[in-house]
Structure 1
């Protein structure tokens, strides 16, 4: 179903968005939570009625079950704009949320200084129309298998069918899936026009009066190396949470020839051996990077980046009838010289840890 809102409706909605930007919203946020044996940060949804319109704020990682709850919570909303801020998550959740947005004629928005990448960007595509602040970032990459981190043809087929269903061109399908799972294609005004992806860019100085198209400020474009490292770290914890055989297959490709590993100078083979001891001791693992904790600083001149943040984790060993959980800081140094990213230093420390207990 196409949106039945007039141009005057959208101008009025633009004024409402401006009010939101200048005032602190007070509303009960409805957390979308799915069952898991690891406390995690699933997508959160807050609904703010604004007279004739409703402002729907969606943030956090997209997970299985989020799509049905989004559909349920917005079932009686007639006119809305959905603001999206997320680094991604479940492909199917992002597509399903996008389909709900499209079927109800909702608009979508990536607010100023916000990022909507991966599955989030797919949900954003469902908007009619799509809004994007000049300082916002919208990123796409190919679908991947969360257990291995490898690109998946089936996932790309589903993604392509969805994009085509939205009425976008084959050029758009190719553009959206061209980046590898460990990389990102960041949408620019020029690329959007070239690939027939309709976007209304919000002019920062005129948001209060209209939704005027403008060219995105190049100074806000993310560093390509920084973007790659950010995605690499996110995928790293996804892989680390997978089956042992998948982790074992990927580990040798993650590290440089020599690694400063928690203060010790080790070869890549020694690091892999140390990691294998850990995964064999705890064959069931879930690692979740804490929302908003990731910091990446890069020196593109030498192809080096440092990434740090916090990860929440839970580990299990059915054979030993044991489990544990906690939170840790992490620090990685990445280098990319004439080849793929490699970890050349790794460190961190435990922030909190619950005593190891028997599996119940």
Structure 2
């Protein structure tokens, strides 16, 4: 039972507190040849009222929900998942969009569930000191929340063992699940009745910044919070490990496969995820420093507006997945990152799901000089 106490905060960046300064998840209906889909976009907020979503389902006769969400409040996400189940809706997640952290819990509500490999992200989060609880009260609260989460997952037909996967990845990292893992933990459960068709997601606005140049032919250095990576035999975390490569080791990028680099290391050729390598020519150039990422946007206009209206100095970087990552303007040493995040959260200057990252997937500065 002790392990469950720790992993009970795995899927949300702030388990017990509402997120500061973030908008509630919004809903939009989109028509496809196979029926109507509702896109849920944004952060799940504590105490959010989902009445508009329910009305939209009834008026549009939608049968499927898809997500563009980096997470949010765990309890709100579970409430939304239960509503999805009660309305008999299915959930579909494509890699072109994002469903990470607490969003994974909302996705579980689907009567039938389909997700592309690498489209659902989980990680371990730290318990926020902002709750103002003593240690005994905090442990009790985590136990209660963990029990709620495990009950929810069982009710949704999900193997709670999935929490243990999340436990292995710190809050400054994100674990995107492979197809085999989704099947193993019953996260995906689909029949032939649910069409595997492209699900519309809000399209990016026309960018004022050019798209990233190809990384093929570039050199890279291994840079991972755990100090090493496994060179994989395929573009999937579950594939065979060909070798273990320590931080700082050079590799050559010879291809790109939807979020994974094809790399050459020594006499081996294999795969390394975009977030594992510091790429020559990308925005991040200081090996031992991290960025404090606080937000991400699909549209350049949204990212630029957020940066320009922030009370603190921020930058937006075009990332390898096509999103715009918002971070503090300057990186800090790895040893300072954790304390800085705690201080900024305590002052409510950054959202509760802000995290430290090497920014390996930051291709170029998009906004603002």
**Which interval holds the TM-score relative to the shorter structure?**
0.3 to 0.5
Q: Which has the higher helix share?
A: 1
TM-score normalised by structure 2 residue count = 0.46
Larger Rg: 1
**TM, length-normalised to structure 1:** 0.47
- Larger relative contact order (CA 8 Å, sep ≥ 6): 2
